[in-house]
Structure 1
Amino acid sequence: MRIGILGAGNMAEALGGRWVDAGHEVMIGARSTEKAAILAERIGAGAGTLEEAAAFGEVVLLAVWYAGAQDVVRQVDVQGKVLIDCTNVWSDMTFRLLTGNGPSGAELIAEASKARVVKAFNLCHESVWRKTPFEGTVLGVPICGDDEEALALAERLVRDVGCEPLTGGGLGRAGQLEATAAFVVGLYAAGADPASMLPPLAHAGGDPEPLTP
């Protein structure tokens, strides 16, 4: 698969490197072509401008800070393409959402880009994507999107980094995923383990009450 990556930061390196290892053709695109070339050489990818990476990819990963995400997708042509949005929409350590009570970041990106957007890879630090699975434990990756083909391609790319896709519903639920990321990372930042608040799947619906004779 040809994957264009918009951005040359840590997420671009982590996911792009894993996808190169999985046999995909990857092009890094950035405003600074020098920065794109340095990262591309490090992970074994091609390099170019944002526009060139967008044109190259059958799937495009948006790997920039959310504050500039809509500007980036407006300056490239990704209309109708599968666009994976891994951005997070908080600005500081208060973890308040920049989107407030409005549409999700993913929905705003979809509107600006006219692409088939899938929200994914936004729950974990970039270092996580470099090393999955963890001691044989397969990490679940929630994904939200409306287009079946886009979801199928995103699921494949999730599996190619050693993880398991979790169907999160349509893009209308992306805001819940973005809020979950802010809440979970806030707990991590406070030194708490978010996994401790969730029961095992077998007990998620509560234990059935014993029958009375």
Structure 2
Amino acid sequence: MRIGIFGTGGMADALGTQWARAGHELMVSGRSDPRPLASRLGAATGSRRETAAFADVLLLAVPASAIGEVLAQAGPLAGKVLVDCSNDPALTGTPVASRIDTEAQVVKAFNLAHVDIWRMTPPAFDGRPLSVPLCGDDPSAVEAVSTLVRDIGARPVLAGGLDRAALLEATAAFAIGLWFAGEDAQAILAPLG
């Protein structure tokens, strides 16, 4: 798969590294110089527009406040899959996914775990792969992102349409708050069986 990465930070690095290992072809675009990350990934670099034109799937790994600017620079995205892994630290009450104005098929994913989890090969705990909830309206877009989830050794979980992304973002805010308070957020959910 051809993956374009908007961003050069931790999430771009962690997920890009996993997808490069899985044999995907990558191109990186960033506000800061994308060459160091691209070199580590064995990826090409390009402008936002070049990266968008190159990719089947685009990872939007930028701060929530930069999304509008990045998408404006990317140009038309019809027929593309756009993976939103962001969380809004301002907790404005308006989900990031609902503020993304694009013709691309948006899938919310990868926002519930810290960047270091995405560096694990595979991200598994006690032999159990990490589950990654996906919210999206287009079945083929959700399937493309499901493939990328499986390629890093995790398990995709279909969590509903993009209208449910607000719940996924609220879950992230709640769980991250517990973790910062020193609590085991995973322990609040009873295991199956």
Amino acid at match of 1:83: L
Question: SS at the partner of 1:75?
Answer: helix
Task: Tell me the distance in 2 between the aligned counterparts of 1:73 and 1:53.
Answer: 11
- 1:9-48 to 2 correspondences below 5 Å: 9-32=9-32, 35-48=33-46
1:153 aligned onto 2:152: no
Task: Tell me the distance in 1 between the aligned counterparts of 2:126 and 2:38.
Answer: 29
Paired residues in the alignment total 190
Render the CA deviation track for 1:75-114: whole Å, top value 9, x for unaligned.
Answer: 21223311000000123xxxxx12x2x4x211221xx122
Q: Which moved more, 1:128-137 or 1:189-198?
A: 128-137
Q: 1:135, CA displacement in angstroms?
A: 4.8
Q: In the alignment, is the contact (CA less than 8 A) between 1:70 and 1:113 conserved in 2?
A: no
The residue aligned with 2:109 is 120
Larger radius of gyration: 1
Task: Tell me the distance in 2 between the aligned counterparts of 1:144 and 1:39.
Answer: 28
Task: Tell me the distance in 2 between the aligned counterparts of 1:120 and 1:46.
Answer: 24
1:5 aligned onto 2:5: yes
The residue aligned with 2:190 is 199
1:80 aligned onto 2:69: no
Question: SS at the partner of 1:31?
Answer: coil
1:66 aligned onto 2:64: yes
Q: Percent identity?
A: 50
1:106 aligned onto 2:105: no
Q: In the alignment, is the contact (CA less than 8 A) between 1:88 and 1:178 conserved in 2?
A: yes
For normalisation by structure 1, the TM-score amounts to 0.86
For normalisation by structure 2, the TM-score amounts to 0.94
Unaligned runs of at least 5 residues, structure 1: 92-96, 203-213
Q: 1:195, CA displacement in angstroms?
A: 1.1
